[in-house]
Structure formats: structure tokens, C-alpha cells
């Protein structure tokens, strides 16, 4: 229905926006494991973390971290030129946290649900805007708890001496019948990375043992809930891996994260959106309960590049942003100014005693009717303009100002024409009133051409949309008739 009114160039632009929305949605699909240090078994076998993904929800005091796992073992070429052959091999994953976590089974469907919600909103926006702790233990490493969750064999440990970490892991899992003692551990780099976290008061480490081979393997997702005074995601711990990685993080909080807050980590902000309680419930009941059932903001962060450049962790406190208020400020400016133009002169004219003994005679004519209907139309179209300023905001997005400016001109010119009709005699308004109606006509024609290409039916019920188009046709005829009468009388 909307596409029928598009030119070839307009249709090309819309298809381009849809393609961009599809590419965004491809970023939202669950891919891999959040950042952990993954230690591989042998000197000629290493880990490749091709992709990483996580959903992070922060309610101001605690963090909810949903991780999904995709990993594979990579055989390295030896000095003799031969490549190692591997079938199944063990890998130890280490995740540093600021406090003791609660660990539970997770599911993959929240990733898919968020993908669907954000994709639909991106498509709508694209078409709409187409015109464009505790004290340290005496021991170097102490066990906090050990638990088997599905295929995971987890241990949460408290570390005060990183040099003892590797020996503790080997001894503990060997005692459980898991032969990690056969591994050739890169103890130097492991201790260096762990020591940096311990010095920064990240003393709790989640240790997990998984089996890998040369095929990418998806392992059951896990949820970690822990106390934290900021949004936290470990990136530096993954610098031990080889090759490049693609990281996708979805941060859910009361406010958005900004580009300045994440720049030092190498992450980029590519999407910011607002999730209603219904959206959050549809994505995950657990996250809905964790966030208190309130409207939240979601920020998508991405990193693409070598793992060796991951030198800083994500540690940020989302802050309020005025950007989301732009639409409401615009609406207040339009409604306030146009109402004041009509009400103030009219009220002054009614109270003032006429000096000539004659009051201004208000006649019900086509100009009065046309200006009233045009002003009413500007109020009816206000939700469309406000939606342009609303999230989602994506990388490189700038609000197209053509429609909001044209609507502002329509409201001001129609309110000015209405005020003159109500307050001024013909001899004082005959030169200014035609100019006001020319401005009404120009703004109206721009809005009509814009609405033809925009997805307005998504903002209005279908029946209301057809009523709107009918009303716009009546306004157009009234404005033409009023302009013709004014020009004839002038």
C-alpha cells in the first residue's frame, strides 16, 4: 500500500534501509561465548574464539550475565611443518568476576527474541525516516563452591595469589577424574592475566572444563548473577586467544551507554533502543523480573579485530541522556508556540475596549475554517514527527529534519492565520494573510509527499489512516479556496 507511492529512487532507498536492518539483525543472532580465558591442552593446539555474544542486564546493584558458547580447537603448525591432529580435547575456561556469582542454566531463545524485537523496530524506523567482597583467604586459592550444571563442571574460586591458580586447577580437576594434568599449560601468560585481575579486586574466578575439537561446538548457555556497582564485561581475559574475534554485547540498563564510556575498550556503539516491559517480558521473563518490570534501554556494542588488542574491560555506569527527550521538546515547542499565537492575541483583543467604538467582527469564512483545520492537522500529525526523534538510534543515524520542520511551519503559519482572522480587521491583515496561507500550502504539500513514502499506517490504525488522508484532502481544498479568495480580495 505504501510502496505503491514510491518512485524508483525512493524504493531503492527503502530497500537499502531494509538491508541495513537485516545486517543489524544478523549481529543480534547468538554466536558464541562471552569473554573468558580459554586454556588449551597442548603446545601445538590453541583456541580460536571466532565470535562472542552476551546479554548483560544491570539494575544498579547487580548484574545478570547470559553467556552462550561457541568454540573450537585450532591445530598449529609445528617447527617441522606438520599440523597437529586432534579429535576431542579438554579446554579450561576462566571468567573473572568482582563478586561471588549465582550460576544457573541459561537458554538461547532470549537472543532470538531480542533479535526479532530489535529487527522489527529497525525496519519501522528505517521506513519511517527513509528520506533520508569479602576478606581475602589465607590460602592463595580457595574453593567457594563446585557444581555440575548440565554439561558444565564449574568451580567458583577466590584467588589472592595468582601464581597458585594453575596448580590449584590441575590438582582440583584431577581429583575429580578430569585429566587436565596432561595439558601443557601456558602458565606465564595465565598468571600475568590473572594477577592483573586480582590486583584490581577481581578475586573470584569461574572455572569450567569443556571438550572441544576442530568443529565449532555450541555448549549449553549459562547465567551468572553477581553484585556489581557498574556494567562489567571482561575483555582483557580473552587476549590469550589467537586470531580475530567478533564481539556482540547487549547491555540492558536504566540508561544507555555512550561512545565515550566504551571507547577505551575498543567497543563501538551500533544501536540504542528502548524496551517496554512487554518487550522485556517477551525476550526473557528472568531479565524482566531482574530489572523490576520497568522500561529499560538497550545498547548494542560490537568489537571486530584481533584478540590481542583487547587490553581493557568494560566497566561503565550508564548515565541519563537528554537525546531521548528531543521528540517531547519538539512537541512542546510546536504545541506551545502555536497555541500561544492564537490564545494570547485573541484574549487581549476580547478584553481590550475598541477605540473606534466597533469591535472586530469575526466572520465564519473559508479562511477561518481553512486555518483552523490546518492547525488541527498539524496536531494530528505530531506523533509522526515525534517518532522520528524516538529510538532506535543506530550508528551514523541523524534525525531527518525535513518532516518536523515542515510540520512546525504548518503549525505556526496556520496559527498565525487563525489569530489574524480572529483579531484583525481586513485592512490590517489583507497583505499578511495571503503570505501565511502560501506558507501553509507549501508546508502542506511537503508533508503530503513525505507521508506518501513514510510508513504512517504503522503509527495509526488502518481506519484512522484513511480518515487522516481524507481529512488532508479536505484541508488541501480549503487552503486552495481560502488562498484564491484572499488573492482576489487583495
Check: CB of residue 267 under 8 Å from CB of residue 238: no
pLDDT of residue 128: 64
Name the more confident of 296 and 80: 296
**DSSP string spanning 46-87?**
EEE--EEEEEEEE-SSEEEEEEEEEEEEEEPB-TTSPBP--S
SS3 content of the chain, % helix, strand, coil (to 5): 45, 25, 30
Greater confidence, 308 or 411?
A: 411
pLDDT digits (tens, 9 = 90+) for 71-105: 555 554 444 444 444 556 667 778 899 999 998 88
| Cβ 251 vs Cβ 49: under 8 Å | no
Could you tell me how far CA 412 lies from the centroid of its own chain? 34
Q: Which of 49, 63, 104, 68 is nearest to 233 (CA)?
A: 63
d(CA 197, CA 205): 10
447 exposed, middle or buried (CB, 10 Å; 0-12, 13-18, 19+)?
Answer: buried
Q: pLDDT digit string (tens) for 197-251? A: 999 999 999 888 776 655 555 566 789 999 999 999 999 988 876 677 888 899 9
Q: Tell me whether strands 231-233 and 89-97 are parallel, antiparallel or unpaired.
A: unpaired
Quick: pLDDT tens for 142-194: 667 556 666 667 888 899 888 888 888 878 877 777 666 555 556 677 888 88
Instruction: Tell me the per-residue pLDDT of 47-56, one tens digit each, with 9 for 90 and over.
Output: 444 567 789 9
| Residue 315: strand pairing partners | 232
pLDDT at 148: 63
C-alpha torsion 330→333→334→340, nearest 10: 170
In terms of CATH architecture, what is 323-489? Up-down Bundle (1.20)
Q: Are 32 and 108 in contact (CB under 8 A)?
A: no
pLDDT at 437: 93
Confidence of residue 16 (pLDDT cuts 50, 70, 90): very low
- pLDDT, the chain, mean: 76
Cβ-defined contacts of 77-82 (< 8 Å, 24+) = 78/44
Can you give the residue ranges of every domain in the chain? 3-316, 323-489
Give dist(CA 126, CA 385) in Å, integer: 14
Q: Give pTM, 2 decimals.
A: 0.76
Taking only the tens place, the pLDDT of each residue in 378-401 is 998 888 888 888 888 877 666 678
Residues ≥6 apart with Cβ < 8 Å to 208: 36, 92, 93, 95, 152, 153, 154, 155
- List, in sequence order, every residue forming a beta bridge with 371; answer none if it has no partner: none
Amino acid at each position: 500500500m505504501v510502496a505503491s507511492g514510491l518512485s524508483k529512487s525512493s524504493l531503492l532507498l527503502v530497500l537499502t534501509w531494509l538491508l541495513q536492518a537485516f545486517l543489524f539483525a544478523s549481529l543480534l543472532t547468538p554466536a558464541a561465548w562471552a569473554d573468558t580465558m580459554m586454556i588449551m591442552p597442548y603446545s601445538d593446539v590453541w583456541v580460536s574464539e571466532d565470535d562472542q555474544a552476551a546479554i548483560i542486564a544491570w539494575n544498579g546493584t547487580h548484574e545478570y550475565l547470559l553467556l552462550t558458547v561457541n568454540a573450537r580447537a585450532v591445530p598449529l603448525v609445528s617447527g617441522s611443518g606438520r599440523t597437529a591432529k586432534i579429535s576431542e580435547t579438554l579446554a579450561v575456561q576462566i571468567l573473572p568476576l568482582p563478586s561471588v556469582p549465582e550460576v544457573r542454566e541459561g537458554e538461547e531463545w532470549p537472543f532470538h527474541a531480542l533479535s526479532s524485537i530489535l529487527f522489527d523496530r529497525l525496519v519501522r524506523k528505517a521506513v519511517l525516516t527513509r528520506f533520508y567482597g569479602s576478606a581475602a583467604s589465607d590460602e592463595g586459592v580457595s574453593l567457594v563452591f563446585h557444581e555440575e550444571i548440565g554439561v558444565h563442571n564449574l568451580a567458583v574460586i577466590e584467588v589472592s595469589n595468582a601464581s597458585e591458580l594453575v596448580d590449584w586447577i590441575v590438582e582440583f580437576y584431577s581429583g575429580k577424574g578430569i585429566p587436565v594434568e596432561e595439558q601443557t599449560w601456558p602458565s606465564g601468560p595465565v598468571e600475568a592475566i590473572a594477577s592483573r585481575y586480582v590486583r584490581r579486586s577481581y578475586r573470584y574466578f569461574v572455572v569450567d572444563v569443556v571438550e572441544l575439537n576442530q568443529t565449532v561446538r555450541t555448549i549449553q548457555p549459562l547465567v551468572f548473577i553477581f553484585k556489581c556497582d557498574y556494567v562489567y564485561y571482561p575483555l582483557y581475559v580473552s587476549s590469550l586467544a589467537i586470531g580475530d574475534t567478533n564481539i556482540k554485547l547487549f547491555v540492558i540498563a536504566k540508561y544507555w551507554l555512550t561512545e565515550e564510556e566504551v571507547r577505551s575498550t575498543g567497543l563501538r556503539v551500533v544501536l540504542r533502543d528502548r524496551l517496554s516491559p512487554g518487550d522485556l517480558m517477551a525476550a526473557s521473563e528472568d531479565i524482566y523480573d531482574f530489572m523490576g518490570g520497568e522500561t529499560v534501554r538497550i545498547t548494542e556494542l560490537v568489537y571486530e579485530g584481533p584478540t590481542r588488542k583487547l587490553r581493557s574491560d568494560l566497566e561503565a555506569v550508564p548515565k541519563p541522556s537528554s537525546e531521548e527527550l528531543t521528540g517531547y521538546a519538539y512537541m512542546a515547542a510546536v504545541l506551545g508556540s502555536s497555541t500561544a499565537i492564537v490564545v494570547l492575541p485573541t484574549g487581549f483583543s476580547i478584553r481590550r475596549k475598541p477605540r473606534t467604538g466597533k469591535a472586530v467582527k469575526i466572520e465564519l469564512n473559508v479562511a477561518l475554517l481553512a486555518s483552523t483545520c490546518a492547525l488541527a492537522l498539524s496536531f494530528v500529525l505530531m506523533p509522526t514527527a515525534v517518532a522520528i526523534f524516538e529510538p532506535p538510534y543506530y550508528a551514523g543515524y541523524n534525525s531527518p529534519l525535513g518532516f518536523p520542520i515542515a510540520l512546525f511551519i504548518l503549525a505556526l503559519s496556520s496559527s498565525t492565520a487563525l489569530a489574524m482572522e480572529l483579531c484583525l480587521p481586513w485592512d490590517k491583515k489583507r497583505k499578511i494573510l495571503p503570505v501565511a496561507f502560501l506558507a501553509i500550502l507549501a508546508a502542506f504539500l511537503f508533508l503530503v509527499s513525505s507521508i506518501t513514502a513514510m510508513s504512517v499506517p504503522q503509527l495509526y490504525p488502518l481506519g484512522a489512516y484513511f480518515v487522516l488522508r481524507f481529512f488532508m484532502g479536505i484541508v488541501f481544498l480549503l487552503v486552495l479556496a481560502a488562498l484564491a479568495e484572499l488573492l482576489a480580495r487583495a
